[in-house]
Amino acid sequence: MMLLFYLAAAIAVISTAAVIVQTNIVHALIYLILSLLAVAVIFYVLGAPFAALLEAIVYAGAIMVLFLFVIMMLNLGQHTRDEERSWMTMQVWIAPSIMAAILLAQLVNVLSQYDQELTPVRVGVLEVSALLFGPYVLAVELASILLLAGLVSAYHLAKK
């Protein structure tokens, strides 16, 4: 289990890094799907099979297909790739990378003071749905209203 966790973590980090340095947008999308599937494996290892399934179905399935549709609609071809290459200069990367690295170092510094082990306990669909339709039922209703608002505004914005 532990080996699986670290393997999936390495795949997630490498493929996420590949997403942000890619110039070909479809390749970047495929790497993003790989990263999301690796995170789904991590969820499963951590004892959250329901979240793993949702990650694979909703994130890697539905949301990435939305991205794919839009890339197809925009028809970004060779000239976009050349444009991307011309934007990928070294000086663009230096300052944000250094600042983000400082933030990450601080985070690691704070987190490494914890010295706790977690033993994965399987928390399945039953417990999650008992919570969802018990104390958090108002949050579920609000989420449905948010999705409805997203639907209406996406229809309105993408209209000619």
In the complex, the smallest distance separating the C-beta of residue 20 from another protein, rounded to whole angstroms, is 4
Query: Which listed residue (27, 74, 77, 85) binds another protein by CB under 8 A?
Result: 74
Interaction of residue 138 with another protein, rule CB under 8 A: no
As a whole number of angstroms, the distance between CA 104 and CA 99 comes to 9
Site track for another protein across 80-119, x = CB under 8 A: x--xx--x----xx--xx-xxx-xx--xx--xx-xxxxxx
For 31-59, b/e burial (b = at least 16 CB within 10 A) is: bbbbbbbbbbbbbbbbbbbbbbeebbeeb
Q: Enumerate residues 5-64 that contact another protein by CB under 8 A.
A: 5-6, 9, 12-13, 16-17, 19-20, 25, 28-29, 32, 35-36, 39, 42-43, 45-48, 50-51, 54-55, 58-59, 62-63
Residue whose C-alpha is closest to residue 34's, from 57, 11, 54, 51: 11
Interaction of residue 77 with another protein, rule CB under 8 A: no
As a whole number of angstroms, the distance between CA 120 and CA 99 comes to 34
Interaction of residue 120 with another protein, rule CB under 8 A: yes
Interaction of residue 78 with another protein, rule CB under 8 A: no
Which structure tokens are listed for 37? 């599937």
